[in-house]
Chain A
Amino acid sequence: MLRKTIVTTLGIIWAIVSLYPILYMVFESLRTQETYITGLPWLPPAHPYLGNFQDVLAQGFVGYFVNSAIVAIISIVMILVFSLFAAYAIVRLDGWFSSRAFTLFLAGLAIPIQAAIIPLYILIDKMGFYDTLWAIILPSVAFALPLSILILVNFIRDVPKELYEAMSIDGVGTFGLLFRLVLPLSRPAMMAVGIYNFVQIWNNFLFPLVLTSNPKLQTLPLALQHFEGQYTMNVPAIMAAVILSAVPLIIAYIIGRKQLLAGMTAGFSR
Chain B
Amino acid sequence: MPRKKRTQRIAILLLAPSLILFIVFGIVPMLGAVYLSLVNWNGIGHQTFVGLSNWVQFVKDSSAWHSILLTFEVMILTWVIQTPLSLMVGIYLAGKQRHRSWMGVIYFLPLLFSSVAVGLLWSYILDPNFGLVNTLLNAIHLKFLAANWLGSTRPGLVLWTLVAIVSWQYIPFHSLLYQAGRKQIADSLYEAARIDGVTFWKEFWFITLPQLKYTVVTSTVLMLTGSLTFFDLIYILTDGGPNEETNVLAVNMYNTAFNKSMIGYGSVFAVVIAIIGIILSIVMTKFTGFRKLESQSEGV
Contact = CB atoms under 8 A, between A and B. Distances in A.
A245 B124 contact: no
Given A97-B12, A142-B25, A224-B116, A189 B300 contact: yes
A221 B232 contact: yes
B114 A14 contact: no
A24 interface: yes
Contacts, number: 297
A112 B229 contact: yes
Interface residues of A, number: 102
Interface residues of B, number: 94
Contacts of B177: 265, 268-269
A149 B18 CA distance: 9
A110 B280 CA distance: 9
A247 to B, nearest CB: 9
B75 interface: no
Contacts of A222: 116
Interface in B252-300: 253-254, 257-258, 263, 266-267, 270-271, 273-274, 277-278, 281, 294-300
B247 to A, nearest CB: 14
A72 interface: no
A266 B176 contact: no
Contacts of B12: 97
Contacts of A266: 299-300
A93 B107 contact: no
A261 B14 contact: no
B68 interface: no
A111 B30 contact: yes
B38 interface: no
Interface stretch (B130-138, B141-149, B152-160, B203-211): B130-138
Contact of A109 (B184, B281, B296, B298): B281
B136 A101 contact: no
B105 to A, nearest CB: 7
A93 B6 CA distance: 10
Given A82-B21, A110-B278, A221-B232, A98 B270 contact: no
Contact of B8 (A83, A93, A154): A93
Contacts of B8: 93, 95, 97
A17 interface: yes
14 contacts: A14-B103, A15-B106, A41-B136, A95-B4, A97-B12, A111-B27, A123-B32, A138-B25, A145-B22, A174-B7, A205-B235, A206-B232, A235-B130, A264-B111
Given A22-B109, A85-B15, A114-B229, 15 more contacts: A82-B21, A97-B8, A112-B225, A115-B274, A118-B32, A119-B32, A119-B35, A119-B36, A143-B26, A152-B299, A155-B299, A205-B114, A225-B116, A238-B120, A246-B112
Interface of A: 3, 7, 10-11, 14-15, 17-19, 21-22, 24-25, 28, 36-37, 40-42, 78, 81-83, 85-86, 88-90, 93, 95, 97-98, 101, 104-105, 108-123, 138-139, 141-143, 145-146, 149-152, 154-155, 157-158, 174-175, 188-189, 192, 202-203, 205-206, 210, 220-222, 224-225, 228, 235, 238-239, 242, 245-246, 249-250, 253, 257, 261-270
Interface of B: 4, 7-8, 10-12, 14-15, 17-19, 21-22, 24-30, 32-33, 35-36, 88-89, 92, 100, 103, 105-117, 120-122, 124-125, 130-132, 135-136, 139, 168, 172-173, 176-177, 180-181, 184, 200, 215, 218, 222, 225, 228-229, 231-232, 235-236, 250, 253-254, 257-258, 263, 266-267, 270-271, 273-274, 277-278, 281, 294-300
